[in-house]
Copies of this chain bind each other. A is one copy, B any other.
Amino acid sequence: MPEVIPENSVGLVTPKIQHFDEPLTLRSGRVLNEYDLIYETYGELNADRSNAILICHALSGDHHAAGYHSMDEKKPGWWDNCIGPGKVIDTNIFFVVSLNNLGGCSGSTGPTSINPDTGKVYGPEFPILAVRDWVNSQARLADVLGIDVWSAVIGGSLGGMQVLRWSIQFPDRIKHAVVIASAPKLSAQNIAFNEVARQAIAKDPGFHDGWYHEHGTIPKYGLMQARMLGHLTYLSDDAMKVKFGRELREEKFNFSFEPEFQVESYLHYQGEKFSTRFDANTYMLMTKALDYFDPAAAYGDDLVACLSESKCRFLVVSFTTDWRFAPERSEEIVNALVHADKDVTYACIESTSGHDAFLLPIPRYLDVFGAYMDGVAATCGLTSGGKA
């Protein structure tokens, strides 16, 4: 709990819920007749509505990116390092919108919501989504908020994929794309990790083919394993070495199957925590959206042709020890943008923190990101206060 909210925080924030009743046709062909999106905003939308920024979240993220929901909240939103007055995404300049994606479990319509057609929880009947579906729903939210053009769309990991999709799907509605620790599509290895995680959930007897709500169970161990595995891919070998090494919980080996090394306890703790807060069906469908993402596929696997659709400027950032989406994956995007004759800034940031680095206040990262955002403000004719 923050005893006093820091001065560079956006402070107390209250999420809003927007209901949509225009049917949304999804990539799969299925239709959502109506849905809610929960979102937060930080900063003020200026008079000519030219200072808006969209934040796209990653696999297990949500709309609560900055500030506090109450004075009792222990930690601020997940990207509070970057969003706030005077911060990289400066809420004295920008109006920041952060939503929970469709299919999520934090307030937007998803598997835990009531299906209006049946009056029961969607559960596994909630449609499997693609990244473009999120982008389409985000565009509708922009319409409601009166935002014709985002000064920037920003996201890390799966969030970065949404940014890429924005750049080609609504090229006239985005001036800057900030794609952090992301990839133009998953590799076979990435897909394989997702499938192992999904199997852990699907084979948990508490899963009941996704109908666990009706059975009063949760696939707790499956979620724990999925999260433990996720953490393994978010952290670098180096980061784990620094953080845990081979340190034991007790002084010596106990020759049992209880956790003996600190790294085991840490993963158990993270898995346990996640299993009580996250919805299993949401986890399943989020990983599928990752698997499906491959915008170049519609262009004969030509990423240059694909990104040629875009009209915005790009910042692409990668981290040296990220092995989930290694720098080479960001460089595929950068190379394609260069070949497509787009304006792109690229930085590969030295870090020992693996994929998780994109959430951390690494000085060089914040410098590069901040300098780019100063440029965003300048090219959008913005100064402090968001006034053009």
Binding site for B on A (CB under 8 A): 27-30, 127-128, 185-189, 191-193, 195-196, 198-200, 202-205, 221, 224-225, 228-229, 231-232, 235, 237, 240-241, 243-246, 253, 255-257, 259-261, 263-264, 267, 284, 288, 291-292, 294, 323
Contacts of A221 in B (CB 8 A): 199, 203
List 24 interface pairs A-B (beta carbons < 8 Å), by A numbering. A29-B255, A128-B257, A187-B241, A188-B241, A188-B245, A188-B263, A189-B235, A189-B237, A189-B241, A192-B231, A192-B240, A192-B263, A192-B264, A195-B228, A198-B257, A199-B228, A200-B225, A202-B257, A203-B221, A203-B225, A205-B205, A246-B294, A253-B292, A261-B291
The reply to whether B261 and A191 form a contact with Cβ atoms under 8 Å apart is: yes
Give the shortest distance, in Å, between A368 (CB) and chain B (any CB).
26
Query: Given A257-B202, A261-B291, A292-B253, A188 and B225 touching (CB < 8 A)?
Result: no
Interfacial chain B residues near A245, Cβ < 8 Å: 188
Report which of B29, B127, B232, B256 forms a contact with A192, defined as CB distance below 8 A: B232
Give the CA-CA distance A371 to B128 in the complex, in Å. 56
Query: In the complex, given contacts A187-B240, A188-B241, A195-B263, what are 5 additional A-B residue pairs having Cβ atoms less than 8 angstroms apart?
Result: A189-B241, A191-B264, A192-B264, A198-B257, A200-B225
B237, A195: Cβ atoms closer than 8 Å:
no
Are A191 and B246 in touch, CB under 8 angstroms?
Answer: yes
Residue from A203, A235, A244, A245 whose CB has the most chain B CB atoms within 10 Å: A203
Whether A189 touches B28, Cβ cut-off 8 Å, given contacts A195-B264, A200-B225, is no
A198, A237, A245, A255 — most chain B CB neighbours (10 Å): A255
Complexed CA–CA distance, A256 and B228 (Å):
24
- A13 and B30 CA atoms in complex are apart in Å by 59
Chain B residues contacting A257 (CB-CB under 8 Å) are 128, 198, 202, 284, 288
Residue of B nearest to A263 (CB): B188
Q: Are A229 and B196 neighbours in the complex by a CB distance under 8 Å?
A: yes
| Other-chain residue from B127, B203, B244, B255 in contact with A255 (beta carbon distance below 8 A) | B127
Q: Which residue of B lies closest to A244 (CB)?
A: B188
Taking CB atoms, residues of chain B closer than 8 Å to A28 are 253, 255
Alpha-carbon gap, A369 to B187, bound state (A): 33
| B224 near A188: Cβ-Cβ < 8 Å | no
